Structure 1
Amino acid sequence: MISDLWESYLGLEPASIKTFVAIGAVSSFVLFIQMLFLLFLGGDIDFDLGEVGEGGGTGIFSIRSIGSFFTGFGWTGAMLLAKGYSLGVATTGATVMGSLILAGFLAMMRWMHGFKSDGTIDYTNAIGNIGNVYVPIQPRRKGMGQIQVEVQGRLAVVTAITNHHEKIENRTAVRVKELIDSRTLLVEPLELEVPEEENLSSEETDLSPQETE
């Protein structure tokens, strides 16, 4: 299968299509690898390449944002050339599409990260709230993950750690226990909480043989 794809790539005409396809394919592969790390390993291999941006892989010069631009740029340019447009038109169209995808990516990431820690939000208000794991959390404070939780009436994505002995997987319900620093929450799986009624029932069951005696 790989050899067939390689032969198809070598057979592309004009030769400039190969450049666009290569750019789109490499960029797509980088984004795919980052997604795998994010979803299954609980880590993030993105970082900012410059001072512009918010940091944490959401700035305009992060690997992820650059990858999103060149993914749109490469595939759009190849498509326009394949339809018979000139190299100049294809390059212009690819640049416009890449810029639109980049703008959409940055807007989405800023929305997902919610408020900045700039004094407009107090994360102690999240204590006691229930959230969902967005990025898997490593056990026993060995690594940080992220959760989506309501804070001051708005859903925010916040860094989180846990004392739990097992990794907390994506989409697991958790309860916020305390604030570790200005923007890091300590959470525990909601399933560990036993309703008070069950505790009372268990105690009554344990005491019943003694009462019978």
Structure 2
Amino acid sequence: MDFLKELFGTSSSFEAIYWAIAVSATGLMGLKSILSFIGLDLDADFELGLDGDEISVSAILTVLMTIGWSGVLGYKLTSYNDLVILITASVAGVASLGASIFIGGRLKKELEHSGNIDLKNAIGKTAKVYLTIPAGKAEKGQIEIELQGRLKIMDAISENLIPSGASVIVYDVNEHSLVVEPIPSVES
């Protein structure tokens, strides 16, 4: 412990421990950030068992940095005793963990939702028939449609036989298929 007290220039063993935690966690987070920047991200997740929440290495390092720097500031800026500083630093660490889980969960949900296609957004859009659509809605063909900023090949059904290359308009959604009808060609 004397080594840490000498290294960080402190008279208190507890303050030296806070310095060691703060400097180590900050250094590891910096290293992790650099590795991530150059494409060597070594992140891992740990299951908590609480509603499927995950804690990442980044979240753990964030907690340790918060506890360490809160403890250092507690000794540098206040005259509180060791127990008060320990409790304050621990509360700050738990708060940073909660914030990491909350923000990470929100970002994860955003990523999950942003990739989903809502077929109802296709209603009223025009498309080109990719594979011939048989008549009678019994069998599926396929159409090529721009949906939510992406060009997609989607299953389609129709009352009418519609050949490949024909233009159609989507007027309904039936389970996982788009219901289309041909757009009449304008003859001059």
Q: TM-score, normalised by structure 2?
A: 0.52
Higher strand share: 2
Instruction: Give 1:105's aligned residue.
Output: 100
1:48 equivalent in alignment to 2:48 = no
Which AA in structure 1 matches 2:46?
L
Distance 2:23 2:81 in 1: 21
Is contact 1:59–1:65 with CA below 8 Å preserved after alignment?
A: no
Instruction: Give 2:15's aligned residue.
Output: 17
Q: How many residues align?
A: 121
Which AA in structure 1 matches 2:25?
S
Shift of residue 90, structure 1, vs aligned partner: 0.6
Which AA in structure 2 matches 1:102?
L
Instruction: Give 1:137's aligned residue.
Output: none
1:78 equivalent in alignment to 2:76 = no
Is contact 2:62–2:97 with CA below 8 Å preserved after alignment?
A: yes
Distance 2:96 2:88 in 1: 12
Unaligned runs of 5+ in 1: 1-5, 126-150, 153-174, 180-213
1:92 equivalent in alignment to 2:90 = no
Q: Residues 59 and 13 of structure 1: is their aligned pair in 2 closer, same or farther, counting only changes over 3 Å?
A: same
Which AA in structure 2 matches 1:35?
S
Q: Residues 85 and 9 of structure 1: is their aligned pair in 2 closer, same or farther, counting only changes over 3 Å?
A: farther
Distance 1:68 1:109 in 2: 13
Q: Deviations over 1:110-148 (max 9, x none)?
A: 22222475xx776356xxxxxxxxxxxxxxxxxxxxxxx
Instruction: Give 2:27's aligned residue.
Output: 29
Moved over 6 A (4+): 175-179
Q: Residues 45 and 90 of structure 1: is their aligned pair in 2 closer, same or farther, counting only changes over 3 Å?
A: same
Report sequence identity in percent.
18
Which AA in structure 2 matches 1:80?
G
Aligned equivalent of 1:123, options 110, 113, 116: 116
SS in 2 for 1:90: helix
Is contact 2:5–2:11 with CA below 8 Å preserved after alignment?
A: no
Distance 1:34 1:54 in 2: 27
| Cα RMSD for the two superposed structures | 3.5
SS in 2 for 1:123: coil
Distance 2:35 2:152 in 1: 27
Shift of residue 49, structure 1, vs aligned partner: 3.4
Is contact 2:5–2:13 with CA below 8 Å preserved after alignment?
A: no
Distance 1:178 1:34 in 2: 38
Is contact 1:124–1:178 with CA below 8 Å preserved after alignment?
A: no
Shift of residue 51, structure 1, vs aligned partner: 5.1
Shift of residue 70, structure 1, vs aligned partner: 0.9
